[in-house]
Structure 1
Amino acid sequence: MAIASEHTPSAETEVKNAPAAEPADGTAAADPRRWKALLVLLVAAFLDMLDSTVANVAAPSMQRSLGAGYSAIQWVLVGYQLAFALLLILGGRLGDIFGRKKIFLVGVAGFTLSSLASGVSQEPWQLVAARVAQGAFAGVMVPQVMSIIHVTFSAKEKGAAFAMYGTISGLAATIGLAAGGLLVDWNLFGLDWRLIFLINVPVGIAGLIYGSRVIAESKAPHALRLDGLGLLLATLGMVLFIFPLLQGRELGWPVAGFVAMGVSVPVLVGFVLWQRHRIRVDGSPLVELGLFRIRSFSAGLATNLAFYIGMGMFSIGWTLYMQIGQGWTPVHAGLTSLFFCIGAFISSTGSLIALVPKFGRKVLHIGAVILTLGLLGYIWVAGHYGSAIHSWQLGLPLFLIGIGFGAVATPLPVIVVTDVPHKDAGSASGLVHTDIQLGFAVGGALISVIFFGGLAGNTAASVDQIAPALRHDLVATASVEPGKVDSVVAAFRTCAVDRAKEKEPTTVPASCTSTPALQDPKVAAVLGAHAADVTGDSFARSMQSTLWAFGGIVVLVFFLMFAIPKEAAEQNFEDEGAASEAVPATT
């Protein structure tokens, strides 16, 4: 706490047109527009999280409509993530230097225009370029949300504001599954997948007009300068580390990727050394390294990183399990996610407003325990029902996972920035969001090792399990001679395993087309009837492995939480009843 007080600015004005410095009694001078401003900020956060997930659901429709290759569609998804991750630190610092309201509105304007460009794209390269721009402007826009909340609201109100922010951010990521599937399925106005981007345009325009009127300007009280070399080193280091993670499986994990990740280490070390130099010379680093001496910030970031590595594994594995393994439509998968959404809504809303003020850090620990119980339930259900599973059977495990997610994910970002000086609010916010994106990238890379790494073996085991029933059906239904049935089963096993090894799920391996016995219509009908069970069971086993790994990470997160100071989990959440009462009914 001593460090925080040493770096905390004096009563010098931080927010133009609205006092931002808190009086000694802890009650900030109320800006009557602050709750209206929060509405704009929450809508912006919602759009970003929605667009980062909704495109995954609509990807097959984009591929068909544009006649795009699989690699181009991968870049539609990866390009957004990469640009977003790379711009977060810069975006946060730009807000500190030039004004958080100004940079936020620039981000909203760019996000709106790039959404329009995405929606009207006629060629794959146009959509890729528009999505990269969209991710970049999201990286500029999103850090301002947390930093504006941090400097605008008093300690009494901050918990309520962050509770709303956490709820919106967490739910948008999962609602994107359902919303994307519904919008594509409905094909309103014949727009198909384009509507998921075009819907941002009127919302963005309204946000620009309304936000310019109700958001108070704020920036660091002392003049800061942009660190160009620091930006170059940070961007290069992040690209070298994150890009191989995002594209590793697609490229077959080449040696060059591991070399790039290795090179990222000295580059990032050079970045840290340069930041120290900038602190000594002019006090204008891209990242204020003193933040890492604040225990709530450094311990919170470490906990946050580990947590989102696990969530990255879960969210990707869960989508693969539902849509490819079980063959559910995007709408079916999205509606199934509502169990998670409901749990997350309940806990994220209640954790900051009601639970953390009373129980402090214990809420995080309880959330981790509930999350673990949900994972164990999911593991049992997936193994017990296999390919015959129904959405309602996943309901209770997903609900518990949602409860645990909301109880951990919502308070953590608030705890991380608890002791951050207002002058570094943008930089800290950018680091928090970069931390989350890095976690998702590492989690996505681990999916390649844990989920896909065991998929071929799981597929072979699933074929061996159904082999007796398959042999019977081939003889009884397809009239295969008993002496040839084993060779047909062996060919089917090879085909299934080779298909599981393909990067693109729709790719048909040569082993599936080169064996004459598999081409017989009667044989193909029997094999097709069993193929769904093989896929469902093999994906269920891979999902179980992923959940066990996620469970291990949650245990690690549980112990990392002890490094977070108790007072950091309580000091900004006191008197939340007063904060709740302070929220106008119009919000």
Structure 2
Amino acid sequence: MTMTQTTDLPKVRETPAPRPRGTTLLAVILLGQFMAILDVSIVNVALPTLRTDLHASGAGLQLVIAGYIISYAVLLVTGARLGDLAGHRRMFLLGLAVFTAASLACGLAPGSGSLIGFRLVQGAGAALMTPQVMSLIQHHFTGPARVRALGVYSSVIAGGVVAGQVAGGLLVSADLFGAGWRTVFLVNVPIGLVLLAAGPRVLPRGERRTGGGLDLPGVLTLTPAVLLFVVPLVLGHELGWPAWGWASLAASVVLFAAFVVVERRVARGGGRPLLSPRVLRAPGVAAAAAGLLLGPCTWSAFLFTTTLHLQGDLRFGPLGSGLMFVPCVAAFALVGLNWQRLPARWHRRLVPAGFAVAASGYLVIGPVADGGVLYETVTAVIGAGLGVLPIAMTVALANVPAEDAADGSGLLLTVMQLGQVAGVATIGTLFLVLAEGGGSTRHAEYGTGWALAATALVASAATLLAVRRRAA
């Protein structure tokens, strides 16, 4: 799941364009953003139904979730660069078209393998579309109108998570036309078609940009590095940890090292690397990035494992399990949308404190795993703790030079998305192993609760270090 997004762009040269009607423009781009966020979480409650219908393995379920986030994370910065080069209007519409077509293909997928492939394409479409949303807001809204637009944008980011869990439950339970889980993908199609019809009339023209450049060597190195790392983690348990999996992990280490070399070479040649080494050297950024990797890691793993538990031992239906997440994500939204109301001197300390609060909730999730009010209260504590993720982004970027702000935002957003992939791949695998070994998802909740708590505590320590380095 994507928690928050910001894109600070370099100075650019634009040809004048008539200012569009603000409300209509905002409605179109934010509805596209909403669909992209929705699809991170809407699939969670459909997993048990999907597994039964397609006879999908546990690893297959993980790839259905992670596949979307993998391509979204890897291509996010590239999507922003393409917006700079070809225009935000063009890239938004292209990404929306790819996303809509892939959603239709997902809804019609005949098996888990094809579904995973279409989810990768869907994530690529989202990566082209969503970076343009913040850019369009920045360039076509000013003063109080921009403040209001950014407020609505934040609400959409938070609300997409809530709506995904609840809407997924409603759609699967309704079983419209006997489509079952397929409706969680097909719901995007009519919305996407309406936006594709309205977009050319609403989105501003004349935005071809000259800043930046596409770091193709970086993309071609990072993409296989991520895939070679994540795929064996997801499939290893299911296949008995074969030799090719270990070889894949070793190859990913080599490619990550090669990526660092490639990026340094691009920077020395005067280009704009995908992830700027200068950003990583800014005080506190590396430590904050560690927190922004581990925090979303726990969030995605928590959503994945808890859904399987609710629809496993607790026998919840898709709608019931979706509604169980409402206190959690509502608490997340409450903190994420209101932290700026608190005294400024508190802001930096809220991040490590929030991760520590989330760790306390994870620690007791196993003992209260029978459901009920106490269980929902604990999940709300977890959501409130992770609501500090928008603050973590702000703290991390505080010491990044203004000319590197776009690269800093891209780095941290990519790290957050990869954290979600890692959470499903690692802690999700642990849950599946424990559930098989102990014969119950309740048993698995105990073990994964400890793993989630430990990960959240490491995130707390990393962000505390970032705060201290920023203050130094």
The match for 1:206 is 194
Residue 439 of structure 1: aligned partner: 419
Match of 1:538 among 443, 450, 453: 443
Whether the 8 Å CA contact 1:119–1:198 is kept in 2: the answer is: yes
Structure 1: distance between partners of 2:156 and 2:467: 27
Q: CA deviation at 1:232?
A: 1.4
Residue 314 in 1 paired to residue 302 in 2?
Answer: yes
Q: Which residue of 2 aligns with 1:359?
A: 344
Any idea what the Cα deviations from partners look like across 1:197-243, whole Å, max 9, x if unmatched? 22111221233344444444697954544333332112222222232
The residue type equivalent to 1:176 in the other structure is G
Query: Matches of 2:284 and 2:335 in 1, distance apart?
Result: 22
Q: In the TM superposition, what are the counterparts of 1:448-487 in structure 2 within 5 Å?
A: 451-452=431-432, 455=434
Separation in 1, partners of 2:42, 2:187: 12
1:1-48, Cα deviation, whole Å (9 max, x unpaired): xxxxxx9966x5357537xxxxxxxxxxxx664554343333223212
Partners in 2 of 1:148 and 1:424 — Cα distance?
A: 19
Please state how far the C-alpha of 1:551 moved relative to its aligned partner: 4.1
User: Is the CA contact 2:88–2:136 (under 8 Å) kept in the aligned structure 1?
Assistant: yes
- Structure 1 residues 117 and 536: alpha-carbon distance in aligned structure 2, compared to 1, 3 A threshold: closer
| 1:391 pairs with 2:372 | yes
Give how far 1:439 is off: 0.8
Q: Which residue is 2:227 aligned to?
A: 239
What CA deviation, in whole Å up to 9, does each residue of 1:237-295 have, x standing for no partner?
22222323333333333443343233323323322322333334352434444433444
Aligned counterpart, 2:236: 248
2 CA distance for matches of 1:97 and 1:422? Answer: 20
Equivalent-residue separation in structure 1 for 2:402 and 2:197 (angstroms): 26
> Cα 1:101–1:337, aligned 2, differ >3 Å: closer, same or farther?
same
CA spacing shift, 1:444–1:194, aligned 2, 3 Å: closer
Once the two structures are superposed, what CA deviation does each residue of 1:47-96 show, in whole Å capped at 9, x if it has no partner?
A: 12222222232234334445666665554444333333332232222222
- 8 Å Cα contact 2:359/2:382 also seen in 1: yes
Change (3 A) 1:179 1:290: same
Determine which of 93, 96, 117 is the counterpart of 1:105.
Answer: 93
Q: Give the Cα separation in 2 of the matches to 1:308 and 1:293.
A: 23
Tell me if the contact between 1:245 and 1:444 (Cα under 8 Å) persists in the aligned partners: no
| AA aligned opposite 1:97 | L
| Match of residue 376 from structure 1 | 360
More deviation in 83-92 or 372-381?
A: 372-381
CA shift at 1:298, angstroms? 4.8
In the TM superposition, residue 109 of structure 1 has moved relative to its aligned partner by 1.0
Mapped partners of 1:124, 1:312: distance in 2 = 20
2:279 matches 1:342 = no
Asked if 1:41 corresponds to 2:29, the answer is yes
Aligned twin of 1:500: 437
Write the deviation string for residues 531-553 of structure 1: whole angstroms up to 9, x where unpaired.
Answer: xxx73652342243234324423
Cα distance in structure 1, aligned partners of 2:204 and 2:426: 42
**SS of corresponding position for 1:410:** helix
Alignment of 1:55-204 (within 5 A): 55-66=43-54, 75-122=63-110, 124-149=112-137, 161-204=149-192
Residues 377, 394 of structure 1: CA spacing in aligned structure 2 closer, same or farther, 3 A cutoff?
Answer: same
Question: Which whole-Å deviations, capped at 9, do the CAs of 1:379-416 have from their partners, x for residues lacking one?
Answer: 44642x55xx332122322222222222x123334555
Whether the 8 Å contact between 1:301 and 1:435 is mirrored in structure 2 is yes
- Which amino acid in the other structure matches residue 291 of structure 1? V
Total equivalences in the alignment? 465
1:417, distance to aligned residue in structure 2 (A)? 5.5
Alignment of 1:266-345 (within 5 A): 266-295=254-283, 298=286, 300-345=288-333
User: Percent same amino acid among aligned pairs?
Assistant: 30
1:227 and 1:323, CA in 2 relative to 1: closer, same or farther beyond 3 A?
same
Indicate whether 1:553 and 2:458 are aligned. yes
CA deviation after TM superposition for structure 1 residue 338, in Å: 0.8
Answer whether contact 1:79 1:128 (CA < 8 A) is retained.
Answer: yes
How many Å separate the matches in 1 of 2:170 and 2:424? 25
1:451-503 deviation line (CA, Å, top 9, x unaligned): 456x37xxxxxxxxxxxxxxxxxxxxxxxxxxxxxxxxxxxxxxxxxx437xx
Q: Give the equivalent residue in structure 2 for 1:21.
A: none
> Aligned-pair distance for 1:124?
4.8
Supply the distance in 2 between the matched residues of 1:314 and 1:377 (Cα, whole angstroms).
11
Partner of 2:392: 412
Deviation at 1:556, TM superposition (A): 1.9
Alignment correspondent of 1:484: none
Gaps of 5+ in 1: 1-6, 19-30, 457-498, 502-533, 568-587
User: Which residue does 1:400 correspond to in 2?
Assistant: 381
173-182 vs 373-382, greater mean Cα deviation: 373-382
- Partner Cα separation in structure 2 for residue 59 and residue 377 of structure 1: 24
Question: Does the 8 Å CA contact 1:42/1:168 hold for their aligned counterparts?
Answer: yes
Structure 2 stretches lacking a partner, 5+ long: 1-7
User: Deviation of residue 183 (structure 1)?
Assistant: 0.6
- Residues of 1 paired with 2:460 and 2:146: CA distance? 29
Q: Residue 496 of structure 1 aligns with which residue?
A: none
Structure 1 residue 335: Cα displacement? 0.9
Matched AA of 1:438:
L
Q: Is the 8 A contact 2:431 2:445 kept in 1?
A: no
The one-letter code sitting in structure 1 at the alignment partner of 2:467 is F
Deviations 1:285-339 (A, max 9, x none): 3444443344475554333123222323333332233232433222221111111
> Separation in 2 of the partners of 1:239 and 1:288?
21
State the shift of 1:377 in Å: 5.0
Q: For the Cα contact (< 8 Å) 1:311–1:550, is it kept in 2?
A: no
Distance 1:69 1:376 in 2: 32
